[in-house]
Each structure stands twice: as structure tokens, then as C-alpha cells.
Amino acid sequence: MIGVWHAPGRVNLIGEHTDYNAGLVLPFALPQGVTVAGSRRDDGLLEIHSQGRSETVDLAGLEPGSVTGWAAYVAGVAGVLREAGHPVGGATLRFVSDLPPGAGVSSSAALECATALALTALYGVRLDRAELVLVAQRAENRYAGVPCGVLDQSASLLCRAGHALLLDCASGESAQIPLDLGDHRVLVVDTRADHRLGDGGYADRRASCEKAAGLLGVAALRELTDPEPPLDDPVLRRRVRHVVGENLRVEAAVGHLRRGEIAAIGPLLTASHVSLRDDYEVSWPEADAAVEAALGAGALGARMFGGGFGGSILALVHLDALPRVRTAVTTVFAGNGWTSPVFLEAVASPGAHAR
Ligand code: GAF
């Protein structure tokens, strides 16, 4: 058997650093993503080709740590499926991607999800999308060593065209929220500051949340409603304030979207950025400057999205203001001597599928 599968990258409209706190997220899928052509082979080898690079992995010796770098995201999916007892064997997988690497639009999750669709289809493994999300997440956690939540894999596998996905990471329940932008656009600005989830900042934030939850006697920060919890450590207090506030902002944004009030989500986006910058401390200079420039040029709201420490911001912009916003951001980057940003109009697109 031979087939072709596509898994998209994502933008997260709002709900940042909430997934691993059992909270709410609201991503949508991009038209860009990872496409894989795959076929079975019976020698137990996984032969992987991507952007001029090739690796061969012997599935018999596969375990966490035995494959490193980009191939770990692919081999990890095979490893997790096999650990769970699924009869997945060798394959030749050829990947192409039109996602900008390092832009924080989930190229890793797209790689995992495309692999998961390919391997399960090639070997007749029947898993539903929610199960595939966990396979892909586990591959990233265990084989790539990144302690991510389920946001990116859920976006890639569960999103629908024209909709944002409201995912409750506590219950796993999700709802498709129509994303009617009218005369507005979601402008993504790749700040060209490469993000590296594996670099420690992300794991540190996650550990802080777990510590705060432990001190407050809750299983996850989602259970809290008080944004000013009784914690002595001011850093932990700020982290909790972000998470509690961000869940409330997701709920408010969903309310506005359901009522067709797209412009009303602007201030929520900006409040999310301020919280990620000041309380969660995961934004970076290019993101802060891009957000400020976009708002100054008439964007209705703007925020960093993804894990932080590099990557992209998004801005909600009326069509008339798009040229102004692009110029303002480009000018501020040039003034700082930074690499020119790259712009992308994000269109809510279908989740992963066979082609
Ligand atoms: C990264 C992670 F992979 C997600 O799980 C999520 O935590 C996000 O950062 C922050 O919201 O994309």
C-alpha cells in the first residue's frame, strides 16, 4: 500500500500555556503543513526523507534516546504505537513541508501527526483522532524530550476549515467555533527569532505550574478561580495569575465568536500578550515590538502565540489597516537591526487528512 497524508501547522488564537494546566485552548489549523508519501516495507526499517536529509531507523532497536534530532519526532510515533502493541512495522516516508521552521507554528506536531496518520493507515491500525493526539504527544514527550501539552497535536488532528477548536484539556471535550472574520484578518508575523521549546524555559514554566498546584492543593491550575492565590513566592503568584486569567480570556473570546463579535476579541488578545510578557515571562523583544507596532498602526489586538522565547505573533487587523500594520512592524524591525519579519495571513483550514 502507498498513500499520501497531510497534517497542518496551527495558530493559537488564545489560550497559551493552559494546555498542560488542564485548561482551555482555541487554535485553528493553517493551510500550510507537512505532507508525507508513505509505503510499507517488510524489513523492519523506517526510512525517512525530508528536505534533502535522510535517516534509516531499525525499529527493532528503537527506544527513547536511540534516535535524536528531527528523526526522533517521526521514529517516536512508530515507537509509541509499537509500545502500545499496535502492529506497526517498517515504512519508507518522504516528507515535504511548507511550514516555516522555527516560526512556532507547530512544524514538529505536524510531522508527528502526518506520521501517525501514515503509519496507522499503512498498517490498518484503527485509532480515533483523540487517541492519535495522545500518540503524537507521547512521541514528542518521550522520544524528542519535549514536555509539551496537547495543544499542537489537537489542532493538527481535530481542526475544521473555517473554525477554531475550543478544547478543554481537562475533559478532552472539544467544540468547533465558527471563525467568521468578516472584513478582518489574522495576520501572523514570524519574528524570525527561532523558538526552541527544548531549551529549558518551557519545561521550567511547566514545573512552576506543577509546584504551584501542589502548594495550593489542586491537581491542576485549571481548578483555581482566584487569580491572586495565597502563595509566598511572587514568581509562582505571577505564573498562576497568567493561567487563571488566560482561561477566562478563552471563555470570553468564545462568547464573542459565538455572537459574531470578532472585533471584540481584540482586547482579549492584547491582554493575553501582556500577561505572557509580564506574568508568565515567555515573550521576547521582537514579539513585544511587533505587538506594539501592530497596535500602534491600528490592529484591534495582538499577541505572541505558541510556547514563547521566539516564534510568531498574531494580530487581528481590519483589511484597510493591513498595509499600515505590515509597514509599521517592518519599520520597527529595521530600526532595531533585526532580520526582516515574514507575514502570513492565517486562514482557518482543515485538520489532518489523507490526500
Ligand atoms: C507549545 C507546546 F507544544 C504546547 O503544548 C503549548 O503548551 C504551547 O507551547 C503553549 O500554549 O506550543
Q: What is the pLDDT of residues 179-211, one digit of tens each?
A: 999 999 999 999 999 766 547 899 999 999 999
Whether the pTM exceeds 0.90: the reply is: yes
Of the candidates 347, 235, 269, 299, the one whose C-alpha atom is nearest the C-alpha of residue 8 is 347
Q: What is the pLDDT of residues 259-309, one digit of tens each?
A: 999 999 999 999 999 999 999 999 999 999 999 999 999 999 999 999 999
Distance from the CA of 112 to the center of ligand 1, in angstroms? 15
User: Using an 8 Å Cβ cutoff, are 186 and 265 in contact?
Assistant: no
What is the residue whose three cell numbers read 511547566? Answer: 206
Which residues form the catalytic set? 152
Residue 94 backbone class (left: φ over 0; alpha: ψ -120 to 50; beta: rest): beta
Measured from CB, residues less than 6 Å from any atom of ligand 1 are 16-17, 19-20, 148-149, 151-152, 197, 306-307
Relative orientation angle of helices 266-278 and 285-296, to the nearest 10 degrees: 150
Does the interface predicted TM-score (ipTM) exceed 0.90?
yes
The DSSP secondary structure of 305-349, one letter per residue, reads: -SSSSSEEEEEEEEGGGHHHHHHHHHHHHHHHTPPPPEEEEE--B
Measured from the CA of 106, which atom of ligand 1 is nearest?
12
CB atoms under 10 Å from CB of 54, counted, come to: 10
Of the candidates 258, 262, 266, the one whose C-alpha atom is nearest the C-alpha of residue 298 is 266
Q: Which of 151, 195, 206, 314 to mutate to test the pocket of ligand 1 (most atoms within 8 A of CB)?
A: 151
Q: Whose CA is nearest to atom 1 of ligand 1?
A: 307
101 pLDDT higher than 90: no
* Residue 224, CA atoms < 13 Å, CB-side half-sphere: 29
Q: Which of 25, 73, 202, 249 to mutate to test the pocket of ligand 1 (most atoms within 8 A of CB)?
A: 202
Distance from the CA of 212 to the center of ligand 1, in angstroms? 19
User: Using an 8 Å Cβ cutoff, are 351 and 8 in contact?
Assistant: yes
Q: What is the pLDDT of residues 322-331, one digit of tens each?
A: 999 999 999 9
- d(C-alpha 1, C-alpha 21), whole Å: 41
Q: What is the pLDDT of residues 211-259, one digit of tens each?
A: 999 999 999 999 999 999 999 999 999 999 999 999 999 999 999 999 9
User: Using an 8 Å Cβ cutoff, are 311 and 102 in contact?
Assistant: yes
Which DSSP helix (H) or strand (E) runs through 86?
A: none
Distance from the CA of 119 to the center of ligand 1, in angstroms? 24
Distance from the CA of 18 to the center of ligand 1, in angstroms? 8
